[in-house]
Amino acid sequence: MQDQEMTQSWSGLGVGTDRETFLRHVAQQLPDYSAEQAVEAVFCALTQRLPGGIVQQLMEQLTPDVRELVGRCQKRGDAPPTKLDRDDFYLHVANHLNAEPENMRLVLHGVFAALHTQITEAESEKIASQLPDYVKGTWLNSRRGVDRPY
């Protein structure tokens, strides 16, 4: 395995890691959840909230094996975003994980931090510009390495 694949810090260069390293990064952030289920839950909610074109650009930056992990949630490139308020967004993730909605900000932060290891800074900024404030703060904090919420 190359050193680049072992890097768990966000480079901002879109030098995605393999699936195993990506999931290990999520598991370190979220030891109480299945990493695969957390990624799928967050990505499904995120792709509902983002325009289809942004989702497609995000998918293109993921490595093929990570893309396969989240591909079940992908929507068409021309699909408009779904309006979800904060409670609906958190509930969507919680239902997917069969977990309490109060813990979902922690889950979002953990998965977002891992996603940032996969994408460029420019892509991250595009995504942030499309997110509502209640998710944008967590997205930006996870990119900056701010301590995860408890």
Confidence at residue 76, expressed as pLDDT on a 0 to 100 scale: 56
Confidence at residue 1, expressed as pLDDT on a 0 to 100 scale: 37
Nearest Cα to 42, choosing from 135, 126, 123?
135
Mutual orientation of helices 133-144 and 86-97 as an angle, nearest 10°? 60
pTM, rounded to two decimals: 0.82
Q: What distance in Å separates the CA atoms of residue 35 and residue 29, rounded to the nearest whole number?
A: 9
* Cα end-to-end distance, the chain, whole Å: 33
Confidence at residue 10, expressed as pLDDT on a 0 to 100 scale: 38
Confidence at residue 148, expressed as pLDDT on a 0 to 100 scale: 54
Confidence at residue 6, expressed as pLDDT on a 0 to 100 scale: 37
Indicate the Cα dihedral angle 132, 134, 137, 143, nearest 10°.
-70
Confidence at residue 56, expressed as pLDDT on a 0 to 100 scale: 85
Residue labelled with tokens 């996969």: 118
**Which tokens is 149 given?**
């919420």
Q: What distance in Å separates the CA atoms of residue 7 and residue 139, rounded to the nearest whole number?
A: 20
Q: What distance in Å separates the CA atoms of residue 109 and residue 121, rounded to the nearest whole number?
A: 17
Ordered by where they begin, the domains of the chain are 18-74+82-144 (1.10.490.110)
Q: Which amino acid is at 77?
A: G
Confidence at residue 75, expressed as pLDDT on a 0 to 100 scale: 60
Confidence at residue 147, expressed as pLDDT on a 0 to 100 scale: 58
Confidence at residue 9, expressed as pLDDT on a 0 to 100 scale: 37
Helices (H), the chain: 3-6, 19-29, 35-49, 52-61, 64-70, 86-97, 104-116, 121-130, 133-144
Confidence at residue 3, expressed as pLDDT on a 0 to 100 scale: 38
- Please list the pLDDT of the chain residue by residue as tens digits (150 residues): 333 333 333 344 455 678 898 999 899 989 999 999 999 999 988 888 888 888 888 888 888 888 888 877 766 556 677 777 888 888 989 999 999 888 898 999 999 999 988 888 889 999 999 888 888 989 998 887 655 555
